[in-house]
Every structure is written in C-alpha cells, then in structure tokens.
C-alpha cells in the first residue's frame, strides 16, 4: 500500500483538532516527499543530524518536530529551524534551548515530557519535578522558549487498560496546569496557552485521542516498518 493511501486513511480517522506528526525517522527523503506531495507538512525525527540533513534538502514550509531524547550539546544544530521540541525533560535542556533560540533570534515552542510509563527506560519529569521547573527563577526569565503543552509515552504493552490509565493520568496533569489559578498562574507566566497534549503512536493513537490527545505521532502506519 502506498504512503499516500496510508496517510489518507489515517487522516480520515482523525478529528479536526488533532495534529498528525508523520514520524519519518530512518526513512529516505523520497518517502517523505511522497507524504509531502499528499499534503503532509508536519514531520517528526528523533535524531538531530538526520533532521538537519532532511531540512536542508526539503521544502521550507515543513514543520520539523524533534520527538526523540535531546542532548544539550546538539540543540544548536536544530535551533535555526525546529518548529517544536517534544521531549523537554529538564531545566538544563530548557536553558540551552532558550540560549540557542536567542542566538537565532527565535522563540522555540516546547513540550514538557512527563514520565507516565512503568518502564524506567522512558524519559520525563514526574509531577514534583514539573512543579519545581515551572516555579524556578530561571524558567521565569526565559524569553525565547514557549511551553505550548505536554508530551508523554505510554508503557510498551498490549494491556489497553494500563495504557488508558497512563494517558488519563497525563491528561489530568495537563488539565491541572491549564485550570489552576492564583499563585499557580504566576508560576506559569511564561506559558502562553497549554494547547497541545502529545500522546499516542501508531498502535494506540485512537485510544490516546479518546483520552484527550491533540497531537499524535505516527510512523510505521504511514511509511511501513523500520529495518
């Protein structure tokens, strides 16, 4: 089945308010261009150098999303063009993104990654770390980043009840940041609006949407399996 047909089938199942990130990691530019020609404009990569190479070769109306774990020493390479960084999991990383965004005279949108899975291998902040980050003086001084939402990855399991529990937990954290008032709102003064809740991949995106996701990251269902 072609990339265009796969893309069309998936888009037909998505509500209008859900953004589709086509996860194009390891795939050649020719595959990405097939998706581009079918109307896809948002692509997700998990390695910065690969994303830079593709950005250089492809049309400039593409939104490039960094969806993998980010090393601080690599931020400078994507700072000139990246549209959204999904996996921000520390104040140190946020400080580096802010620094590199300033150098490029940009404001870079970021999602804070929340650890919701039972697997220790997954990255992310717990709720205490999230609160500490948002309350830190350093965060309040950052003018070149914009926190636009949260991201999380569920446990890799066939247990749908567990996945649903983890997605529901992330949605509750998301809602608590959006609707707190008083002093909490002051702590979130750098956050314009928390609109994006990025959760759900090829195997569980429909469940994620039912739990409140507004952005899904789908790769193999579009481009086929990876070697």
Range in 122-136, 137-151, 156-170 with the lowest mean pLDDT: 122-136
* pLDDT of 213 strictly over 60: yes
Average pLDDT estimate for 52-76 = 97
Give residue 193's pLDDT: 63
Q: Is residue 122 classed as helix, strand or coil in its secondary structure? A: coil
Could you report the per-residue pLDDT of 152-163, keeping only the tens digit for each?
A: 999 989 999 999
Radius of gyration of the chain (CA): 17
d(CA 84, CA 97): 11
Average pLDDT estimate for 152-179 = 90
d(CA 35, CA 37): 5
Q: Which of 214, 220, 218, 204 is nearest to 162 (CA)?
A: 204
Backbone angles phi, psi at 23, to 5 degrees: -80, 105
Give residue 123's pLDDT: 82
Average pLDDT value over all residues in the chain: 91
d(CA 45, CA 103): 23
């Amino acid at each position: 089945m072609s990339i265009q047909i796969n893309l069309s089938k998936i888009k037909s199942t998505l509500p209008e308010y859900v953004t589709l990130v086509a996860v194009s990691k390891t795939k050649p530019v020719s595959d990405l261009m097939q998706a581009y020609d079918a109307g896809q404009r948002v692509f997700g990569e998990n390695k910065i150098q690969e994303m830079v190479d593709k950005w250089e070769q492809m049309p400039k109306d593409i939104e490039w999303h960094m969806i993998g774990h980010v090393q601080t020493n690599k931020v400078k390479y994507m700072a000139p063009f990246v549209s959204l960084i999904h996996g921000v999991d520390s104040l140190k990383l946020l400080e580096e993104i802010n620094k590199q965004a300033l150098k490029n005279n940009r404001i870079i949108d970021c999602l804070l990654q929340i650890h919701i899975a039972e697997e220790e291998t997954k990255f992310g902040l717990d709720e205490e770390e999230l609160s500490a980050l948002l309350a830190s003086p350093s965060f309040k001084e950052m003018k070149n980043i914009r926190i636009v939402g949260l991201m999380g990855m569920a446990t890799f399991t066939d247990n749908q009840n567990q996945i649903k529990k983890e997605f529901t937990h992330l949605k509750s954290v998301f809602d608590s940041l959006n609707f707190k008032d008083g002093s909490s709102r002051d702590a979130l003064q750098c956050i314009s609006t928390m609109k994006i809740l990025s959760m759900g991949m090829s195997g569980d995106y429909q469940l994620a949407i039912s739990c409140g996701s507004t952005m899904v990251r789908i790769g193999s269902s579009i481009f086929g399996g990876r070697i």
